Amino acid sequence: MKLNRQHLDRLAAPIALPAYRADATQQGIVHIGVGGFHRAHQAVYTEALMNRGEALDWSICGVGLRGADRAMRDALAAQDYLYTLVELGDDAHGAVRVVGAISGMLLAEDSPQALIDKLADPAIRIVSLTITEGGYCMDDSSGEFLAELPDIQHDLARPEAPRSVFGFLCAALARRRAAGTPAFTLMSCDNLPHNGAVTRKALLSFANLADPGLAAWIEANVSFPNAMVDRITPMTSAAHRQQLAERHGIEDAWPVVCEPFVQWVLEDKFVNGRPAWEKVGVQFTDDVTPYEEMKIKLLNGGHMALTYLGFLKGYRFVHEAMNDPLLRRYLRTFMDQDVTPQLAPVPGIDLEAYKDTLIERFSNQAIADQLERICSDGSSKLPKFIVPTLNRLIADERPLERAALVLAAWALYLEGVDERGERFAIADPRAAECQQLVADRERISTRLLGAEAIFGTAIPNSAAFVAAFQRNLDSLRSQGVTATLETLLA
């Protein structure tokens, strides 16, 4: 049965359905970058509140800035913007719910003006983002805004027809300022350190180039809460769609599958109201930093430590890599000995129990999380999830061998062939550039680690780290992943 509002009354338990009428809602949030994670996280928290009969004026208008977003818009529009969320865990019968918190979606390429109008609408009080780690136009090594990017230069020259997220935001905020409309809160939900602060710096950098007066108004009126977001959400596959149809009779063009675990820690810094998300599990705090450091260094950093080694060995799913005793032991040792000593106490969190939970989550076979998903965009992920840990290890003169293996595995991964001889494509916007850095095997240490945009300056200037990297790379080449880990963990 095709998913849409007309057929909702034909769905039965255990499928959870929206408990509110669509015509009783009003859009109060614009979310830019509608993908699996947003639909499994922020939208689900908002849905839970709406199902209580609250926050009906906080429905979400999705936005796509890229041509590739049309497929998502078309899939959702054909289903009255409903979609199915399936939680996959050890229990074979995970929760299944139909979510209706997203009530529309705009595509920038269809009408830039319609998107500016929506962002300028006084009813919109929060604009949220999942635009990926690389979408903030920031140089990873210097922390500076990349004003020279083509879309940024286009938007500075043609502010009435923007292409970039910052061009659209500034065009709308200029309208709100001129009309005396209160500003919105700009809330990043991306996985990057201090995501609110990064968003603030990027937007103000663009605004200062476009209109310094507007930049001053934004600085005084827009808030940028930092957030820690967490839920493993693999790419939706044809098998997921088929299982949903076979088990529950729902034909959904783009369902979402995710793990049962979900967490959102959010700074309570909103300038124009917010949903009462604390009623449905969101933890509000004055400072998200310790939670963010814990999650990014342990979960995301742990993913980086696992993924390239696992992929090189021929595994394609996270749980397969976790079923390898050596990889599992390496991951836990990396978390225990290299990462945990760097973390400050986290209020309300037992770090040992948290790491146990991560091991359990990574081992979740039902979710079938793809290593390819985690391998992707390494040139953007490594600077945020691994490089800070490496810099601290270097500064503290701690052992470097385990951490250097992460980069050595990435270097070998960039050659595009696993230990079984199977070739694969590198999913990274900078793939060609990165593969050039490893093309000359004799100079990889110098060329790859010397890429300041990825690794900064501390790593290439540490003779001890460069030597550890080269030893691990040589070992991976000559002996393979298993023998390298056996030697490292002996």
Q: Residue 405 and residue 306: Cα distance in Å, rounded?
A: 10
% of residues, the chain, pLDDT over 90: 94
Res. 134 pLDDT band, cuts 50 70 90: confident
Q: Residue 280 and residue 45: Cα distance in Å, rounded?
A: 6
* Omega within 30 of 0 (cis) for the link into 14: yes
Res. 93 pLDDT band, cuts 50 70 90: low
Residue 115 pLDDT greater than 70, yes or no: yes
Strand partners, 29: 60, 126
Q: Residue 437 and residue 434: Cα distance in Å, rounded?
A: 5
- Top pLDDT among 453 and 25 is at 25
Q: Residue 461 and residue 449: Cα distance in Å, rounded?
A: 9
415 neighbors 438 (Cβ within 8 angstroms): yes
What does DSSP assign to residue 423? B
Q: Output 108-115 pairs: Cβ under 8 A, ≥24 positions apart.
A: 108/63, 108/64, 108/65, 108/162, 108/163, 108/168, 109/67, 109/70, 112/161, 112/162, 112/168, 115/63, 115/168
pLDDT tens per residue across span 337-383: 999 999 999 999 999 999 999 999 999 999 989 999 999 999 999 99
Res. 92 pLDDT band, cuts 50 70 90: low
Residue 235 pLDDT greater than 80, yes or no: yes
Res. 12 pLDDT band, cuts 50 70 90: confident
Section 16-20 average pLDDT: 96
- Residue 171 tokens read as 């065009």
For the chain, how big is the Rg over CA atoms in Å? Answer: 23
Backbone conformation region of residue 166, classed left if phi is above 0, alpha if psi is from -120 to 50, else beta: alpha
Q: Residue 93 and residue 435: Cα distance in Å, rounded?
A: 43
453 neighbors 139 (Cβ within 8 angstroms): yes
Distance of CA 240 to the CA centre of its chain: 21
Those residues whose C-beta lies under 8 Å from the C-beta of residue 55, and which sit 6 or more positions away, are 28, 46, 49, 275, 276
Section 138-153 average pLDDT: 92
Q: Which pLDDT does position 13 carry in this prediction?
A: 80
Handedness of CA 160, 164, 168, 169 (dihedral sign): negative
**Which of 253, 259, 242, 244 minimizes the C-alpha distance to 11?**
244
Cα torsion for 339, 341, 347, 350, to the nearest 10°?
80
Handedness of CA 435, 439, 442, 447 (dihedral sign): negative
- pTM of this prediction? 0.90
pLDDT tens per residue across span 35-75: 999 999 999 999 999 999 999 999 999 999 999 999 999 99
Q: Where are the alpha helices (DSSP H) in 121-275?
A: 150-157, 165-179, 195-210, 212-221, 238-248
| Main-chain phi, psi angles of 138, to 5 degrees | -115, 140
pLDDT tens per residue across span 197-228: 999 999 999 999 999 999 999 999 999 999 99
Res. 143 pLDDT band, cuts 50 70 90: confident
Q: Which pLDDT does position 405 carry in this prediction?
A: 98
390 neighbors 459 (Cβ within 8 angstroms): yes
- Residue 63 tokens read as 């936005």
pLDDT tens per residue across span 400-419: 999 999 999 999 999 999 99
Section 233-246 average pLDDT: 93
Q: Residue 205 and residue 146: Cα distance in Å, rounded?
A: 9
- Residue 45 tokens read as 């928290």
Q: Which pLDDT does position 182 carry in this prediction?
A: 98
pLDDT tens per residue across span 248-279: 999 999 999 999 999 999 999 999 999 999 99
Q: Residue 119 and residue 28: Cα distance in Å, rounded?
A: 10
